[in-house]
Amino acid sequence: MILLLFGAPGAGKGTLAEMLTKHYKLPHVSTGDLLRYHLSKGTEIGKKAKEYMDTGLLVPDDVVLEILEEKMDEKDCHRGYVLDGFPRTVEQAEALDEMIEERSAKISHVFNIDVPRDVIVKRLCARRVCSKCGAIYNVEFKPPKKEGTCDVCGAPLMHRSDDKDDVIRKRLAEYESKTRPVLDYYQKKNLVRTVKGTDSAEMFGKIVDIVGK
Ligand code: AMP
């Protein structure tokens, strides 16, 4: 089963993906997380991606496709996965279709996570992420029990450098110009279900109702 989470940065795709991967026992495939991993290890891919990520621009398609294809062929992805943050351009969506077809699989659902823009901006500014396990917090709406420390693993929380005001603006502009057209692409294929809201638990419930227990 391949579930695709589509939506603006800050829509809560990462949080929903965490809930869905636990529920359906599927791996979470986030191109943002994969890129951040390469960045932290200083790989060639990380070096290529860095300046784009730092400034809120999309990383070139060929770089992202390379890491995604590698991930898809890992054993834990053979039963399916929850895809978060990909595709972000129509070209990526077309390439994904090819990759999936080559592996005789298919996309089960595309969920359009629809959150009001003012909520998105507030969320991104207040988001904190665990530096070790990736758990997501929000200093206003979902603070950790102990300030600056992950409830799950105790590691320090970090403020992503691209969750700063000017970079957020750039990321949202990239979303509007390059990523939103991806929704039409899937709408034409009749795969899209829109899930509106601001509460992740409620949105998770709606998704499970559609996908099935
Ligand atoms: P995310 O964690 O999904 O918000 O991604 C963080 C950053 O990684 C984005 O602002 C982009 O620079 C880059 N990125 C992640 N996924 C993609 C993708 N599918 N295509 C291009 N760039 C991406």
Radius of gyration of the chain (CA): 16
Looking at domain 2-26+79-115+172-212, its CATH superfamily turns out to be P-loop containing nucleotide triphosphate hydrolases (3.40.50.300)
- Token code pair at residue 51: 């300046």
Residue nearest ligand 1's atom 1 by CA:
32
Residue-averaged pLDDT of the chain = 94
Query: Residue 161: pLDDT band by 50, 70, 90 thresholds?
Result: confident
Does the Cβ of 138 fall within 6 Å of ligand 1?
A: no
Is it the case that residue 140 has pLDDT exceeding 90? no
DSSP count for the chain of H helices, then E strands: 9, 8
What's the predicted TM-score (pTM) here?
A: 0.90
| Cα-to-chain-centroid distance, residue 200 | 14
Query: Residue 85: pLDDT band by 50, 70, 90 thresholds?
Result: very high
Does the Cβ of 167 fall within 6 Å of ligand 1?
A: no
DSSP string of 71-132, one letter each residue = HHTSGGGTT-EEEES---SHHHHHHHHHHHHHTT--EEEEEEEE--HHHHHHHHHHEEEETT
Residue 213 CA to ligand 1 centre (angstroms) = 30
Query: Residue 147: pLDDT band by 50, 70, 90 thresholds?
Result: very high
- At residue 165, the pLDDT reads 86
